């Protein structure tokens, strides 16, 4: 099996989709105009998607209060330092910037709504192109 998408209930899916497409290079592949304002956002490979929506009967998790290791979205970054700087200028906040002993560089940030996003430059890449 292959993962198609991961879904998150957010307060403002339209604004989140706009920010993620503008600043993280995701592409809207489907957007609903119903009450949930569901957006499917594909990564640059076109093989993995993030679904964001607002489902009022269910509570939007308090992402900003959650430890980022509970839930975060991790992105491969060729230049975490430059990407971190650009995301901070776009309204993200820094949680931690780590350089691991193996040479990996991991940067944990929060998007403007508090959801944790991680920039990953692995010394040995964990994903392969297919």
The model's pTM = 0.92
State the pLDDT at residue 122: 96
The token duo for 35 is: 């009450």
The verdict on 73 and 43 lying in the same domain is no
The verdict on 82 and 121 lying in the same domain is yes
Domain count, the chain: 2
The token duo for 30 is: 């489907």
Domain that holds residue 101: 68-130
DSSP conformation letters of 55-116:
-TTSPPP-GGGS-TTTS-EEEE-S-HHHHHHHHHHTT-EEEEEEE-TTS-EEEEEE-TTS-E
| C-beta separation of 40 from 28 below 8 A | yes
What are the C-alpha distances in Å from 115 to residues 2, 9, 32, 81, 88?
24, 11, 22, 20, 14
Residue 62 lies in a domain: no
User: Would you give per-residue pLDDT tens digits along the chain (130 residues)?
Assistant: 988 999 999 999 999 999 999 999 999 999 999 989 999 999 998 999 999 999 977 789 999 999 999 999 999 999 999 999 999 999 999 999 999 999 999 999 999 999 999 999 999 988 776 5
């Amino acid at each position: 099996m292959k993962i198609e998408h991961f879904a998150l209930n957010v307060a403002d899916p339209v604004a989140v989709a706009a920010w993620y497409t503008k600043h993280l290079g995701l592409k809207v592949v489907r957007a609903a105009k119903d009450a949930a304002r569901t957006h499917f956002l594909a990564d640059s490979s076109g093989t993995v998607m993030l679904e964001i929506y607002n489902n009022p009967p269910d509570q939007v998790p308090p992402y900003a209060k959650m430890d980022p290791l509970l839930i975060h979205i991790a992105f491969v970054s060729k230049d975490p330092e430059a990407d971190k700087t650009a995301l901070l200028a776009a309204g993200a906040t820094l949680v931690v910037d780590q350089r691991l002993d193996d040479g990996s560089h991991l940067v944990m940030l929060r998007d403007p709504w508090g959801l944790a996003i991680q920039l990953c430059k692995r010394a040995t890449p964990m994903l392969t192109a297919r």
